[in-house]
Amino acid sequence: MKKNIGIIIILLFGFSLKAQKTIGSILINGNNKTKKEIILRELELKIDSAYNQGELKAKVLKSKNNLTNLKLFNFVDIKSLEKNQNIEIHINVIEKWYIWPYPILELSDRNFNTWWEEFSENNYSDFSRINYGVFFNWENFRGRNELLKLKIRTGFKEHFLISFQTPFINKNKTLGIGVDLNLFRRKKTFYKTINNELIFYENQEEFTSKDYSIELNANYRKGIYNKHNFNISYYNTLISDSIRTKNYNYLNNNKTSGSFIRSAYRFMSEHRDYVIYPLKGYYFSIEIAKHHALKSPVNHLEAIGKFEKHLALKENIFLGSSFNARLTSQEEQPYFSQKGFGFQQYVRGYEYYVIDGQSYWLSRTALKYELVKKYKFDIPYVKISQFKKSHHSLYIGIFSDMGYIFDEYNSSTNPLQKKLLWGKGIALDYITYYDQILRIEYSLNHLGEKGVFLHFSNPFGSKR
């Protein structure tokens, strides 16, 4: 009996070995600009490694997702072919257009709906809250997935930017660095929040506020999915004397200039299938930051965390959920350094409101039905390969957002602080190439207010 069991085990082991195939070569086509090593870095597949059919299929899919999430290609296709008892991997990519010198014409408000409300109140004739200028954006600089940005934007909120990011500076492709230089200046500046609305001060003769920042960051990424980021930033704000007298807590130092340094460590674990609009997988990040007071008393410790999960319930039904939170060690902070909901973070249905606070939590859930599956097509009369092929998909769904702001100093003048915020509604999401998203949402909040809102980003991420 023992002899028979041994024979069966040997046969099963031999069958398992026979079922495995070895990758003999990896062939890449379509990378006219992108260096080959940038693509190979993201693959789960390695030459001379052996996989059975199930393992190979899973690793091909993961490799395709990894390359898509580089955001360098409009399309990625990976096929495995048997050749001379080995596996030959064929990778075909269609690159994006990487150099974008384009004019800027954009709305300066926090979202489209707040701009439209202000515009309609001025008889549709006030175009002052518009920004314009030139933005030079060179993605995949030198074919190494580097990013070079130059920005000159004037108008309602002026912005001047120089930025360079490179993912790898060492032979093992594990260390990356970046630098950002920013200048913002405004003639019309919000200096206080009352009834959860921004209060502005304007002077047409001179700038009422200027913000300078220098940011240095370093990334460590040994594998594919986990990244460590180290960041140090210097911030300096100058305001007019009128803003100082209207809100002594703006800089909280009774001066017209305030500055601080922020140092931070952030860990990110990325397992989503498509970071622009995920349907499967999960994401996790945690950040610990320390603020160091200079001219302004910004001296608190901060922890920021986020978890996001996406599931395919059926072939065309998807469930997504996220939870993020910020905790700070200092309850009272200068006005210019604290932001709660209404800017990068918001509860859907409350887009018209700004809800300041030092700490918060935010939960989002969405159930989506795929009306139009991702469909690829050629655009007629277009000859350039980077624009000729396009794709689109369409989703309809229901969502529910909940959030809470912790604030001990402004709740008497801002009633939405320290209140459970709940927004819910239906959404129609359109996704197309070059990572473009249009979301049309009908929302209802806990105040009984209803509205249609437009957004241009992943509903689980920070808005653009």
pLDDT tens digits for 131-154?
778 889 999 999 999 999 999 888
Per-residue tokens: 183: 């200048």
Tell me whether residue 121 is exposed, middle or buried, using C-beta atoms within 10 angstroms of its C-beta: 0 to 12, 13 to 18, 19 or more.
Answer: exposed
Question: CA-CA distance, 51 to 428, in Å (whole number)?
Answer: 41
Task: Output the pLDDT for position 5.
Answer: 56
* Residue 28, pLDDT above cutoff 80: yes
* Residue 85, pLDDT above cutoff 50: yes
Q: Binning pLDDT at 50, 70 and 90, where does residue 123 land? A: low
Q: Binning pLDDT at 50, 70 and 90, where does residue 4 land? A: low
Question: CA-CA distance, 138 to 188, in Å (whole number)?
Answer: 31
Amino acid at position 430, single letter? Y
Which ranges constitute the DSSP H helices of 340-396?
Answer: 385-388
Task: Output the pLDDT for position 129.
Answer: 63
* Residue 70, pLDDT above cutoff 90: yes
Task: Output the pLDDT for position 13.
Answer: 45
Q: In 3D, which of 396, 397, 403, 395 has the Cα closest to residue 445?
A: 403
Q: Binning pLDDT at 50, 70 and 90, where does residue 122 land? A: low
Question: CA-CA distance, 272 to 283, in Å (whole number)?
Answer: 6
The domains located in the chain, with CATH, are 2-95 (3.10.20.310), 167-455 (2.40.160.50)
3-class DSSP assignment, residue 441: strand
Buried b (16+ CB within 10 A) or exposed e, 373-408: eeeeeeeeeeeeebeeebeebbbebebbbbbbbbbe
Q: Three-state SS string across 74-139, please?
A: EEEEEEEEEECCEEEEEEEEEECCCEEEEEEEEECCCCHHHHHHHHHHCCCCCCCCEEEEEEEEEE
Task: Output the pLDDT for position 14.
Answer: 47
* Residue 355, pLDDT above cutoff 70: yes
* Residue 121, pLDDT above cutoff 70: no
Triad 201, 206, 208: Cα angle to 5° = 35
Q: Do 273 and 225 form a contact (C-beta atoms < 8 A)?
A: no
The residue-averaged pLDDT of 336-345 equals: 87
Task: Output the pLDDT for position 463.
Answer: 40
Triad 189, 407, 421: Cα angle to 5° = 90
Query: Considering the entire predicted model, what is its pTM?
Result: 0.86
As a whole-number percent, the residues of the chain with pLDDT over 90 amount to 69
Task: Output the pLDDT for position 407.
Answer: 85
Please count the residues of the chain.
464
The residue-averaged pLDDT of 270-292 equals: 96
Task: Output the pLDDT for position 131.
Answer: 72
Per-residue tokens: 410: 């402004």
Task: Output the pLDDT for position 408.
Answer: 75
Q: Binning pLDDT at 50, 70 and 90, where does residue 411 land? A: low
**Segment 175-194, tens digit of pLDDT:** 999 999 999 998 889 999 99
When mean pLDDT is compared across 165-179, 363-377, 406-420, the lowest value belongs to: 406-420
Return mean pLDDT, the chain: 89
The residue-averaged pLDDT of 337-341 equals: 86
| Strands (E) located in 338-388 | 359-378
Residue recorded with tokens 């709740």: 411
Question: CA-CA distance, 130 to 351, in Å (whole number)?
Answer: 19
Task: Output the pLDDT for position 15.
Answer: 45
Q: Do 90 and 27 form a contact (C-beta atoms < 8 A)?
A: yes
Per-residue tokens: 411: 């709740």
Task: Output the pLDDT for position 366.
Answer: 97
Q: In 3D, which of 213, 212, 292, 209 has the Cα closest to residue 247?
A: 209
What's phi and psi for 34, nearest 5 deg? -75, 130
* Residue 389, pLDDT above cutoff 60: yes
Question: CA-CA distance, 209 to 183, in Å (whole number)?
Answer: 11
* Pairing between β-strand 99-107 and β-strand 21-29 as defined by DSSP bridges: unpaired
Residue recorded with tokens 């905790």: 327
Per-residue tokens: 408: 């001990």
The residue-averaged pLDDT of 397-412 equals: 88
Question: CA-CA distance, 100 to 147, in Å (whole number)?
Answer: 11
The residue-averaged pLDDT of 439-463 equals: 88
The residue-averaged pLDDT of 42-70 equals: 94
The residue-averaged pLDDT of 254-274 equals: 96
Distance of CA 103 to the CA centre of its chain: 23
Task: Output the pLDDT for position 202.
Answer: 87
Q: In 3D, which of 81, 3, 72, 75 has the Cα closest to residue 33?
A: 72
Residue 198 makes CB contacts below 8 A (sequence gap 6+) with: 190, 192, 354
Task: Output the pLDDT for position 381.
Answer: 86
When mean pLDDT is compared across 68-72, 197-201, 330-334, the lowest value belongs to: 330-334
Q: Binning pLDDT at 50, 70 and 90, where does residue 157 land? A: confident
Question: CA-CA distance, 343 to 114, in Å (whole number)?
Answer: 12
Q: Binning pLDDT at 50, 70 and 90, where does residue 7 land? A: low
Q: Which residue has the higher pLDDT, 31 or 84?
A: 31
The residue-averaged pLDDT of 269-289 equals: 96
Task: Output the pLDDT for position 83.
Answer: 83
The residue-averaged pLDDT of 186-205 equals: 90
